Amino acid sequence: KMAGSSTPWIGSAYLFLQSTCKTIVLPSLYESSQKKPSVFKALKLALADSTGSINGVDMLKVHCSYPHLIVQLKFCKQENCRRFLQSYREGALQESLQNHLQVSLAMTTVPLEMELKAGNEHLDDMLKDEDRCLECIYREKPDRLRDEEITELEECFKSLIVHQSINNNMAVKDCASLNSPSLPYPSQGSSLAPQITFIFQGQQFANRTLTPDDHQKFAKLVSKKWKQVGRSLQKTCRALRDPVIDNLALEYDREGLYEQAYQLLLRFIQSEGKKATIARLIAALEENGLISLAEELLGLHSNEDCS
């Protein structure tokens, strides 16, 4: 049986895309800063068409491997994965992606070849056996969090959707630069723009990105409260949204509290990049009464354990 009623259904697969037109090279288009948002938008919309929901399948990474564009997919519900497989098998996904690429890239046609893999299994060879495909995808757990670049593209895409809903009759331009400081984060506002300094216990401290030393101290000293700190960080970190924290508790139960806490902060750091700052972690520690650990991270005292 693939999953019990209390266990979330999570699986992973790789979608290989190649244009059959020699003048259209998908990896080159994706590596272009001008074209990348357009290609991502087409992928996002086509995947939404295939599952019936904009959040039905998650893109974790888009990898350029000439002549292929390889998309790592993550499914969090079996029904979404089943709908995706049906759309893929019937050719609806291929047709949808071709159409969206044609519109987004302003081309006459973008003919595609597609291949679907889960681990070492070529799912194209077993598409008629849907349950077997589901089993293969379920066995392949995602080995990474979403790339920071994908997160930025997601936010860019959301911004476009918001602007389209407001200005239905106006042409919407794609984001010209993903690294622009004005890139909107509509779900989180501007509060995540890292401040230069922050105040803790009446003192001013320089804000900085978390270090390996911070990471190890947190994992060693946070003890049983790691999940509570994770819930606090979750408020402004998409990578820690449910059911990630509970999954970490189950996955690293045998390794103990240190490894659970270490993996929690690792996901925060990997997903937030330069925005994974000491100020955000200190705020989460304060919220959960872990003042001694906060002081330890800020160098206010030495070698005192935190309860």
Same domain, 31 and 138: yes
| Listed residues 157, 181, 214: the one ending a domain | 157
What is d(CA 282, CA 134) in angstroms, rounded to the nearest whole number? 42
Is residue 296 within 8 A of residue 305, CB to CB? The reply is no
Which residues are bridge partners to 16 per DSSP? 70, 115
Same domain, 146 and 241: no
Range of the domain at 35: 11-157
pTM: 0.55
pLDDT at 51: 92
Q: Evaluate if residue 137 carries a pLDDT over 90.
A: yes
pLDDT digits (tens, 9 = 90+) for 119-129: 999 999 999 99
| Average pLDDT of every residue of the chain | 85
| Final residue of a structural domain among 103, 137, 157 | 157
25 and 141 co-located in one domain: yes
Q: Are residues 148 and 203 in the same domain?
A: no
Do residues 156 and 183 lie in contact, with contact meaning Cβ atoms separated by under 8 Å? yes
* Same domain (yes/no): 207, 292: yes
Q: Each residue of 256-269: pLDDT tens digit?
A: 999 999 999 999 99
What's the total number of domains in the chain?
A: 2
To the nearest 10 degrees (0 to 180), the angle between helices 212-221 and 278-287 is 10
pLDDT digits (tens, 9 = 90+) for 206-255: 899 999 999 999 999 999 999 999 999 999 998 998 889 999 999 999 99
Q: Is residue 192 assigned to a domain?
A: no
128 and 54 within one domain: yes
Q: Give pLDDT, residue 197.
A: 86
Report the CATH number at residue 266: 1.10.533.10
Residue 132 falls within a domain, yes or no? yes
Q: Distance between CA atoms of 10 and 272, rounded to whole angstroms?
A: 22
Nearest-angstrom CA–CA distance, 3 and 191? 38
* CATH number of the CATH domain containing 54: 3.30.70.680
**40's tokens:** 């991502």
* Domain end position, chosen among 131, 157, 183: 157
Regarding whether 24 and 90 lie in a shared domain, the answer is: yes
Which residues make Cβ contacts (< 8 Å) with residue 19, sequence separation at least 6?
Answer: 25, 26, 67, 110, 111, 112, 113
- Residue 303 in domain: no
**Same-domain check for residues 145 and 23:** yes
Q: Which residue has the higher pLDDT, 166 or 291?
A: 291
- State the pLDDT confidence band at 202, using cuts at 50, 70 and 90: confident
Is position 255 within any domain?
yes
Domain for residue 179, yes or no? no
Total residue length of the chain:
307
* Same domain, yes or no: 140 and 240: no
Indicate whether 152 and 216 sit together in one domain.
Answer: no
Query: Nearest 10 degrees: CA dihedral of 9, 14, 20, 21?
Result: 100
Q: Is residue 293 part of a domain?
A: yes
In a domain, 307, yes or no: no
Reported as a single tens digit per residue, the pLDDT across 148-191 is 889 888 888 777 665 555 544 444 344 434 443 333 333 333 34
Least confident of 43-47, 77-81, 250-254, 292-296: 250-254
Q: For the purposes of burial, counting CB atoms within 10 Å of the CB of 116, is it exposed (0-12), middle (13-18) or buried (19 or more)?
A: buried
Q: Does residue 204 sit in the same domain as residue 72? A: no
Q: Which residue has the tokens 């087409």?
A: 42
Is residue 1 domain-resident?
no
Co-location of 117 and 221 in the same domain: no
